[in-house]
Structure 1
Amino acid sequence: MELIGSIVILVGAFFLFSAGLGLLRMPDAFTRIQAGTKASTLGNILVLVGLGFYHPDWALKLLVIAYFVILTNPMSSHALSRAAHAIRTPMAAGTVVDALSERNGAAKQGRMRR
């Protein structure tokens, strides 16, 4: 069980490392938020699962922590992305579609017609 726990923790640490690397390598704030959130969520969950193999009596506590991570990471990244878009943070040059501004533009046009 210790070997399985160690391997799962190592894989989780790899994903956490890749999240940090993604924060350094991505071209704009939006892709940095996405890379950091996806990889860190998976990395945290894998580390918690690995800890569960080491300490089975901690299962309920680790489950509560995993639930908190799964619930808060995507919501916080969404809030950060919306805030960055609202203050007009520049996007990478390769960004093709800005769906949020298109949606906001359509909503504004609908209000103007009334």
Structure 2
Amino acid sequence: MTVPTTTEASSLAEQVATVVTSHPSVVRLHGGVFGDVATYLPGRKLTGVRIGMGEEPVELGVVLRLDRPIPQVVRELRQKVSTMCGGAPVDITVGDAVLPGETEPVAP
């Protein structure tokens, strides 16, 4: 993978976010425990996607709907995003899960 410029990485991060959130099992993006899985765009922060620079992997944080096996959904997302990012490795963290029919995680 070639190293993207800051502008290319920002545009790619937005494209990745659109593809990931369009997956039927993805409820929303997730920034991680400290909100550090993010891309800084002009005037805003895109939480849940960080495009790796150079050899660094693409990082995703997601909240999933438990309507399909988690490993299957993660494989599908990893394959789509890796293809979009020139074959880059993709690390995915499932930050939370939602039961089918629910819209947000249920508090413990």
Give the TM interval when normalised to the shorter protein: 0.3 to 0.5
Structure ID, larger Rg: 1
Report the structure, 1 or 2, having the larger strand content: 2
Report the structure, 1 or 2, having the larger helix content: 1
TM-score normalized with structure 2 length: 0.32
TM-score normalized with structure 1 length: 0.31
